[in-house]
Amino acid sequence: MSDKGNKKNHKHSGSGKEHKRLNKQFYFEELERLQTELVKMHEWVREKGLRIVVVFEGRDAAGKGGVIKRITQKLNPRVCKVVALGVPTEREKTQWYFQRYVPHLPAKGEIVLFDRSWYNRAGVERVMGFCTDDEYWDFLRSCPRFEEMLIHSETILIKYWFSVSDDEQEKRFLERIDDPTKNWKFSKMDVTARTKWIEYSKAKDEMFAYTDTKVSPWWVVEADDKRRARLNCIHHFLKMIPYKEIKHEQIKLPPISMEGYVRPPITEQTFVPEVF
């Protein structure tokens, strides 16, 4: 899905302002700075018992996974967790729709990043016919109430939509096909989605009409430039969480006492061959 429809040669942001690709050195310097702030933020979340849910949605190859990877790269996985659910089981198909997502919601002191979420119903399920019309409309009506319940329970909910042009998506798909380390990301569903660009665009527009609310708004990330998108998203995420740096006592390593220890012969151990 995309908010650009089938516009060709889209080379600018939603504001209409053209951007050059970010300088590589600047990107890595800013990324390191922002990741340091993420560490401070997630320490604050753990200390104060906050609950944070971040939803990442958008077209295939829009860059959601790349941003999630940079967010979690320096964080404690016990505090910041990624949820990327697969196809629902036969039992899950008979449950209340939101039920399979509820067990993955954060406890106090946790951050959960949803790499796709309950919005599957408004996107792929709608376009590919994996749900009925009644199920679809019931979702659009009930989703805002579900999210209001989360927010009223003192859960911070942030929703990001990654917007990518069709030209840039095609470029990334071709890169995936030619790269043996990336083609696992490509599925038959992705191919089918390319043939239904307009249907996905209409589904996205309808989804926004119902779920882009004042209580729980969608934040659109212009993602044709991956570096810029990552920095903008992380910067915005940090701004959404009112955190302060927690001062820790300086760690002092005690000396190691080897008294009374005799190491067994190393010939009794099995080592990994030193190929390199």
Q: Give a yes or no: residue 155 inside a domain.
A: yes
Q: Give a yes or no: residue 260 inside a domain.
A: yes
Q: In Å, what is the CA distance from 175 to each residue of 76, 180, 192?
A: 31, 10, 18
Q: Give a yes or no: residue 276 inside a domain.
A: no
Q: In b/e form, how buried is each residue of 148-163, taking b as 16+ CB within 10 angstroms?
A: eebeeeebbbbbbbbb
Radius of gyration of the chain (CA): 22
Structurally, how many domains does the chain consist of? 1
Give the whole-angstrom CA distance, residue 164 versus residue 231.
16
Cα dihedral 73/74/77/78 (nearest 10): -160
Domain with residue 38: its CATH number is 3.40.50.300
Give the whole-angstrom CA distance, residue 3 versus residue 165.
9
Q: Give a yes or no: residue 274 inside a domain.
A: no
Structure tokens at 54: 């971040």
Give the whole-angstrom CA distance, residue 138 versus residue 120.
14
Q: Give a yes or no: residue 101 inside a domain.
A: yes
Structure tokens at 254: 């005690």
- Classified as helix, coil or strand, 223 is coil
Asked if residues 198 and 6 have their Cβ atoms less than 8 Å apart, the reply is yes
Q: Give a yes or no: residue 1 inside a domain.
A: no
Q: What is the structure's pLDDT at 216? A: 98
> Considering the entire predicted model, what is its pTM?
0.89
Q: Give a yes or no: residue 123 inside a domain.
A: yes
Q: What is the structure's pLDDT at 11? A: 40
In eight-state DSSP terms, residue 112 is E
- What is the extent of the structural domain holding 43? 24-268
Q: Give a yes or no: residue 16 inside a domain.
A: no
pLDDT tens sequence for the chain (276 residues): 434 443 333 344 444 556 677 889 999 999 999 999 999 999 999 999 999 999 999 998 999 999 999 999 999 999 999 999 999 999 999 999 999 999 999 999 999 999 999 999 999 999 999 999 999 999 999 999 999 999 999 999 999 999 999 999 999 988 888 888 887 877 777 788 888 989 999 999 999 999 999 999 999 999 999 999 999 999 999 999 999 999 988 999 999 988 889 989 999 999 999 999
